[in-house]
Structure 1
Amino acid sequence: MIGADHTIAVSIAGFSKDAELVAARTGISLRKVSELLVDDLGPLLDLGMVIFWHKACALAGAGVRMPRPGDEAGPPPQRIDYHLPHDVDLFAAIFKDEAADSSWSLNDVWHEVQKALDPFGEIEKGEPPVVRTARIAYPETVTVETPDGPQPLAELYLGMAMWIEPEFVTARDALKVDYASLAGGSLQRIEFSSARTHDWRLSLQAPAGSSDIADLRTGGNWPVNASERSPDAPERNQD
């Protein structure tokens, strides 16, 4: 059971006479679907563009501080003993905790930082990248892989460049369809979808030719604000 109180059958090619008779006897509404051009849209669907905003990031640098005597007395001043190379594999499990029998990557660290903090807080849409650094402390059982082999790790300084960039979807690129009823009249629908995040979309629907705002129906799926969605895995800063 799907809980629907009315059935609508949709077809691109139309319906046979037998299908129309069955639909009439069973109370099924039939709709023939056809694609529309921008100029065919009614006044309520005259929306030229939708902007989807995406969080993006790139690795700006990662520094390692090795353990040293006196660490137990309190956090020492920032001092980088080793910088991970710019071509480091972001998905390689270069961090290991032998005591916990676990390993993880820079990408894993970045996702954990986002869970604990709001690194994109106060970053304005469409502005140049902002670089922020997170300091992560580790127990003495953790090592990091270097060209000289595994080295003990006390702290990781993870620098990330972050920005919020637009994706423009025009009415020309949107899905535009007309649902024509055999009894006369039709509904028009325009749906803007993100090509980068396939579950983001915004749709408008109204009777063809209507200018009454009460006839407009909207729907879709998108985050309420940019901070609700984590960015994809970080890119590597090429500078």
Structure 2
Amino acid sequence: MGVLEIRGLTKSYGAVKVLNGLELDVTECTLRCLLGPNGAGKTTAMDMITGRQRADEGSIVFDGNEIRGLREDEIARRGVGRKFQIPSVVKDLSVLENFLLAAADDVNPIRNMFRFGFKKVKTRIDDTAERVGLRHRLHLQAGYLSHGETQWLEIGMVLMQNPKLLLMDEPAAGMTEHEAEKTVEIFNDLKKTHTLLVVEHDMAFVRSIADSVTVMHMGRVLAEGTMAQIETDPEVRRVYLGTEELEDAAHA
């Protein structure tokens, strides 16, 4: 079943066409990675899906409903969550308080507790913290987390919003090898219950998480398939990955 269906999506800035008739399908409870050189249109596509920017033409159907033209907050409430490359956690608050902030619009975490019921919210936080590997860090101030832990916290904060579709922008960037391995575990667990669309440049990371891969070039789809199929596609090698980089990734 297609959770996300994009048809003929177009976006131009003046004479520059950033998206050029993009077509994309993402199946429920799968993880699709978006690859492509800088300027291929990956981030713009994510912006269109979340309502951060408006498309010029085309259709974006999420969970059976057209969402193109809706506001960013309306799309989020329908079940689309997004994690940006740079985390937006509140470093002066604890991990627990950041989860509470993500769970509701009220900026006061104590009022959130009373509004939704302490036991219910605490159970949800505990479950989320367990999924992202931060159960033992709940009372630590977020500013003391490592880079990888900060990324996991923001993933958890997105999960607290109950999204059906998760959009992730370079989640493994800057991570240590151990943190990247843990993130692979987190993502492979998440796709059992969520649908994920991930922009990433780390080929070894992509190989470890992707059910399918879409390679973008000049605002449209260049190739799609499994990572094994993408690795051997001569046009993908020429335009983006490069033979040497692909061979290195294949043996990683």
Asked if Structure 1 and Structure 2 have the same fold, meaning a TM-score greater than 0.5 normalized by the shorter chain, the answer is no
TM interval, short-chain normalised: under 0.3
TM-score (norm: length of structure 1): 0.21
TM-score (norm: length of structure 2): 0.20
Larger Rg belongs to: 1
Task: From the two aligned structures, give the one with the greater strand fraction.
Answer: 1
